[in-house]
Amino acid sequence: MKTSVNTTVFATVRTALRNVMHWKPMMPLPRRGGSAALALLPLTERVPAMAAPCRMHPAVYAIEAAVIDWARRTGLRADPGVGFHRMAGRAFAEFDAAAAALFAQWLTWLFHLDDELDEGSCQPDIFQGMLEGAARHPLEAAFADLWRVTSARMSDRWRARFALGLRRQHDACRTEADNRASGRMPTLEEYPALRRGTVGPYVYDLVEPCLRVEVPVWVHEGEPWQQLVNACSDVTAWCNDVASRPKERGDVHNFVVLAMRQLGLGEREATAWVLDRIAGRCQDMRQAARRLPLDDLEPKTARDVSKVACAYLAAPRAHLDWLLESKRYA
C-alpha cells in the first residue's frame, strides 16, 4: 500500500537526483598526457551527467591520510599518485569524510586484489580464504580488517548479499583464469555479465555501510534498482577497459580488445564502439533512477535510498576524473 509522505521531502530528493543527472561544465578537465583514458573525453560531450568534473571532498587530505595509515597497518601499498582517496572523495563529496575514507580503503583493497589476480601472484582460491575468515595472505588480513568495521553496521541480510557478491567475483575470476588457460575468448554477448562479476559486484553494496544506511530488500531486489546498479557497474567497468587497454598485454578480457578481434575493427573504431555502449548505459542509469519507488517509502527511508542512488549516479564522472589523473593509467 502506498504510504502517505511529506511532499517537500520528495521534492528535495528528486531535485538531488536531477542535479546529479544533469551537471553542466563548471571547471577544466584534469588531463595527463599520453593516457589511454583521454579516449573517454568524448563522453563529456555526449552524457549530461559526465559533462562536468565532480566536486572534491573538502577533507580529501584527511581521507588520503586515513587510507595510507590503514594500508601500512594492514601491509598493503598506498601510492598517493594512484589516488583512490580522490576517487572516493569525489563520489562521496556530499557526505562525511569517514564515509569517503572507508570506501577509499575498500577501493585500495579491491585494486590490489585485481592486480595480484592479473599478475598471477595469488589465485582465485583466495576468495575461499576470505569467506572462511582466513588471514594467510596480506589481502586476506586487510579484508578481515575492513570486514570487521563494515559488517558491524549492517544486517545479516546485507552480509549475506555481500558474501554472494564476493562469490560471484570468485566465479567470474575463475572463468577468466580458465579462459586464459584454454585460450578461449568470451563472446561480445557474454562479456558484459562476466565483467560485471570480475569488477566486484559487492563494491556497490559498500555504499550503504559507508553511508550508514540500508536499502530495503524489496527496493534492492526491484527491477529499477537492479538496472541502476548494473548500468553503473557496466559504465565504470567499460571505461576502465578503455583506459587500461595498453596494459592488457594481449589479454582478451577487455571490451575494446574483443571488439577489435570479433568485429574486425581498428583500435580507434573499437574504442568508439565501446563509447557508444557506455553512453547507452548512462542513459539506462538515468531512466532507472527516475523509476525508483521513492513515493512508496517513508520519508527517512526515501532520503536514505536517494543518498545511495546519488552516489551511484556520481560514480561514472568521479571514476572518469580519477582515470584521467591517476598515474595508474598514465
pLDDT digits (tens, 9 = 90+) for 126-161: 666 666 665 667 888 899 999 999 999 999 999 999
**pTM confidence score:** 0.86
Q: State how far the Cα of 267 lies from the Cα of 274, in Å rounded to an integer.
A: 11
pLDDT score at 34: 47
C-alpha cell at 273: 564502439
**What was the pLDDT predicted at 30?**
43
pLDDT of residue 246: 85
pLDDT of residue 101: 97
CATH class of domain segment(s) 36-329: mainly alpha
Q: Which residues of 122-148 are buried (b: 16+ CB within 10 A; e: fewer)?
A: bebebbebbeeeeeebbbbbbbebbbe
The reported pLDDT for the residue numbered 133 is 61
- The rounded radius of gyration (Å) of the Cα atoms in the chain is 19
Query: Could you give the CA distance from residue 33 to residue 249 in angstroms, rounded to a whole number?
Result: 21
Q: To 5 degrees, how large is the angle CA 101–CA 110–CA 52?
A: 60
**What pLDDT, on a 0 to 100 scale, did the predictor assign at position 33?**
36
In order, the DSSP letters of 223-290 are HHHHHHHHHHHHHHHHHHHHHHGGGSTT---SHHHHHHHHH---HHHHHHHHHHHHHHHHHHHHHHHH
What is the model's pLDDT at position 42?
A: 96
Q: Long-range contacts for 58-64 (Cβ within 8 Å, ≥24 apart)?
A: 59/89, 59/97, 59/100, 60/85, 60/86, 60/89, 60/100, 62/97, 62/101, 63/88, 63/89, 63/97, 63/100, 63/101, 63/104, 64/104
Distance, first Cα to last Cα, the chain: 53
* pLDDT on residue 226: 97
Q: Give residues with Cβ within 8 angstroms of 170, minimum separation 6.
A: 124, 127, 128
Grid cell listed for 139: 589481502
Q: How far is CA 78 from CA 65, 134, 163, in A?
A: 10, 23, 25
pLDDT at 117: 72
Positions in the chain whose pLDDT score sits under 70: 1-34, 118-136, 330
Give the DSSP H/E element, type plus range, for residue 300: helix 299-325
Q: For position 134, what pLDDT does the model report?
A: 59
Cell numbers representing residue 164 in the block: 554472494
